[in-house]
Amino acid sequence: MFLKEKLLEIKSVFMAYFKEREAEINGSLLAVLSGENLLFLGPPGTAKTQLAKNICQSIEGGNFFNYLLTSFSTPEELFGPLSLKALEKDEFHRKIDGCLPTAHIALLDEIFKASSAILNSLLTILNEHKYHNGRELVDVPLLSVFGASNELPDENESLEALYDRFLFRYRLSYIQDDENFRDLLFRSPEEFEPAATLRVSAIYELRARAKDMPVDPDVEVIITELRKSLQLQEIEISDRRWKKVIQVLKVAACSSGCPTVDRTMVLLLQHMLWNLPEERETIRKTVFEFAISGGISTEKLCQEAEDLQAAVSIALKNELPVNIICDSCGEEFLLRQEIETHHISHPNHSYTLKAEGSSRIYPYSNLVKKIDSLQEVAGKVSTLSQAQKEIFETELEALVDRMERVKYRFEAERELLKNLMNANIWLSTLDRNEALLLHDTRSTELSELNDLISKSRLMLGVQSRQAKPEPKPALQPAKEAGKREIEKISVSDSGNSVNSFMKGIGSRFKLR
């Protein structure tokens, strides 16, 4: 908890100084804590260098290395000059003091412009934190490398390998809000001073504790299904990145003081899974869909309700309110479809209503209007056969059962979701608000679904069944009772393993 309070203090000072950079600040600190690298994409003058430099100032005793790379940059500029004394002994050795191999945090600007001579050594440093200094293998104390670029690398195998080693990715833009812009120009202090510092030893201790952090069952389900969904959208993520992602989520949960990796941690994946900037919104939307209620689609339920209502409507309209007789050939009809087929073959035939006898003759166009009028007058009373009615009723009640289970779960989990997000210090205000908005949007969709079901009931002439009151789980006083109630809920309206997902929700009640 002491670490959590210190991180919140650091974040608060950073957010007061760096406007509209909450997500980037969260990602920068989390990248340092988890030992992963971070990439900033964006135009010059978006405080990329300043943010990375000040993150380093928050590390007690941390060494910062900053360099602008070009296609003409040489290894000496990053890794240090050759040692002349070593050369006299016929040994290849660099003087690495003050260079990249001795830094705790590094910012490499225009990183994708590095020459191939630099790339080979850079890949080893980024991934294994090792540097081959001649015959000596040096441990590099890097906590994180911040890369910055105005553009993505060209399609090149060596650069793709470099790009893949930056787990966190952020697209920066200039400040948008006018008040934030005025604050930047006229009210922000010239020098940034971190509110607190983190010891390097404390960061390594956190990583060690995070390795044993348990992962909720619903998180395992969400990530597995998320990978499948992204593959269907032709977005491929390397196995190495997925492996690193899990460790980052464990560090995020541990540093937040959470007992397990819960599904609000999954929202952080939006910054770790995209390859191209145009994929960001797609991935963000997909991540949020799966994190909120495990990807259960209320849209799918609404679509099924609309399809059922349309099927009932077609069936009711097909069943004629009275028998129709063709006045021209004497053929009798019970279904509207039969009349339509007859009219196509005999467009000039006229018709009479059996109830009216032959006293009145209707051309086909007038007959259609008369049928619609009679059906409207008949109201919503079903004229379906008993077999048809039973089939529709069975389908309707199955849909009602699923809707009620989802609705109950949504009502039970909103406060839980809110509490989990408040405990997660790595979510931005925007992420919290969007997650709750998505949850409420789905609740609204369930209300619309209820209206569709009511209309279908009315069309079938079926009475609404008496709803059985279900006790809502109390989040604080009766945790075990809440856990049992939540675990009873099972909704089979998606391809997800919903039972596992619900066990994850239940575990949150138990743990809290």
pLDDT by residue (tens digit) across 193-224?
777 888 888 999 999 999 999 999 989 988 99
pLDDT band at 378 (very low <50, low <70, confident <90, very high): low
Q: What is the model's pLDDT at position 352?
A: 92
Q: Count of CB atoms within 10 A of residue 67's CB?
A: 16
Tens of pLDDT, residues 270-288: 999 998 888 899 999 999 9
Tens of pLDDT, residues 31-83: 999 999 999 998 888 888 888 888 888 888 778 898 999 888 888 999 988 88
Q: What is the model's pLDDT at position 133?
A: 87
312 versus 232: the higher-pLDDT residue is 232
d(CA 473, CA 482): 4
H-helix or E-strand spanning residue 214: none
d(CA 269, CA 264): 10
d(CA 318, CA 419): 52
Q: What is the model's pLDDT at position 480?
A: 39
pLDDT band at 508 (very low <50, low <70, confident <90, very high): very low
* φ/ψ of residue 171, rounded to 5: -105, 115
Q: Ranked by mean pLDDT, which of 50-59, 243-252, 294-303, 393-402 comes out on top?
A: 243-252
Q: What is the model's pLDDT at position 511?
A: 33
DSSP structure class, residue 266: G
494 versus 332: the higher-pLDDT residue is 332
pLDDT band at 440 (very low <50, low <70, confident <90, very high): confident
Tell me what the mean pLDDT of segment 396-400 comes to: 86
Token pair listed for 115:
């020459």
Q: Ranked by mean pLDDT, which of 272-286, 307-321, 372-386 comes out on top?
A: 272-286
The 10 Å CB-count burial string (b at 16+, else e) for 38-51 is bbbbbeeebbbbeb
Q: Which of 214, 254, 100, 172 is nearest to 510 (CA)?
A: 214
d(CA 368, CA 77): 86
Q: Largest Cα–Cα distance of the chain, in whole Å?
A: 122
d(CA 150, CA 162): 16
As a whole-number percent, the residues of the chain with pLDDT over 90 amount to 31
Residues facing residue 319 across a β-bridge: 335
Asked whether residue 380 carries a pLDDT value surpassing 60, the answer given is: no
Q: Where are the domains of the chain?
A: 1-209, 212-291
As a whole-number percent, the residues of the chain with pLDDT over 70 amount to 85
Tell me what the mean pLDDT of segment 98-122 comes to: 87
Q: What is the model's pLDDT at position 426?
A: 95
Q: What is the model's pLDDT at position 483?
A: 39
User: How many helical (H) and strand (E) elements, i.e. helices and strands, does the chain have?
Assistant: 19, 12
32 versus 501: the higher-pLDDT residue is 32
Tell me what the mean pLDDT of segment 298-322 comes to: 78
Residue 219 in contact with residue 262, Cβ under 8 Å? Answer: yes
- In a 10 Å sphere around its CB, with 0-12 CB exposed, 13-18 middle and 19+ buried, how is residue 329 labelled? exposed
Q: What is the model's pLDDT at position 49?
A: 83
Order of strands, sheet of 38-41, starting from the edge strand that comes earlier in the sequence: 64-68, 105-109, 144-149, 38-41, 168-171
Residue 309 in contact with residue 449, Cβ under 8 Å? Answer: no
Alpha-carbon radius of gyration of the chain = 33
Q: What is the model's pLDDT at position 310?
A: 80
Residue 78 in contact with residue 111, Cβ under 8 Å? Answer: no
Q: What is the model's pLDDT at position 484?
A: 38
- In a 10 Å sphere around its CB, with 0-12 CB exposed, 13-18 middle and 19+ buried, how is residue 105 labelled? buried
Q: What is the model's pLDDT at position 472?
A: 45
Residue 443 in contact with residue 410, Cβ under 8 Å? Answer: yes
pLDDT band at 269 (very low <50, low <70, confident <90, very high): very high
| Long-range CB contact pairs, 428-431, < 8 A, 24+ | 428/22, 428/23, 428/26, 429/22, 430/22, 430/23, 431/23, 431/267
Residues facing residue 147 across a β-bridge: 39, 108
Q: What is the model's pLDDT at position 439?
A: 84
Asked whether residue 385 carries a pLDDT value surpassing 50, the answer given is: yes
Asked whether residue 499 carries a pLDDT value surpassing 60, the answer given is: no
Asked whether residue 411 carries a pLDDT value surpassing 80, the answer given is: no
Q: What is the model's pLDDT at position 156?
A: 59
Asked whether residue 150 carries a pLDDT value surpassing 90, the answer given is: no
**Residue found by looking up tokens 């048809």 in the block:** 388
Residues 6+ apart with CB under 8 A from 466: none
Return the CATH fold of 1-209. Answer: Rossmann fold (3.40.50)
Phi-psi region of 330 (alpha: psi -120 to 50; beta: other; left: phi over 0): left
pLDDT band at 395 (very low <50, low <70, confident <90, very high): confident
Token pair listed for 361:
């003759």
d(CA 15, CA 53): 15
Q: What is the model's pLDDT at position 261?
A: 95
Q: Count of CB atoms within 10 A of residue 136's CB?
A: 12
Q: What is the model's pLDDT at position 493?
A: 42
Read off the pTM. Answer: 0.72
Q: Ranked by mean pLDDT, which of 3-17, 243-257, 362-376 comes out on top?
A: 243-257
**Type of residue found at 264:** T
- In a 10 Å sphere around its CB, with 0-12 CB exposed, 13-18 middle and 19+ buried, how is residue 180 labelled? middle
Asked whether residue 504 carries a pLDDT value surpassing 60, the answer given is: no
Asked whether residue 241 carries a pLDDT value surpassing 60, the answer given is: yes
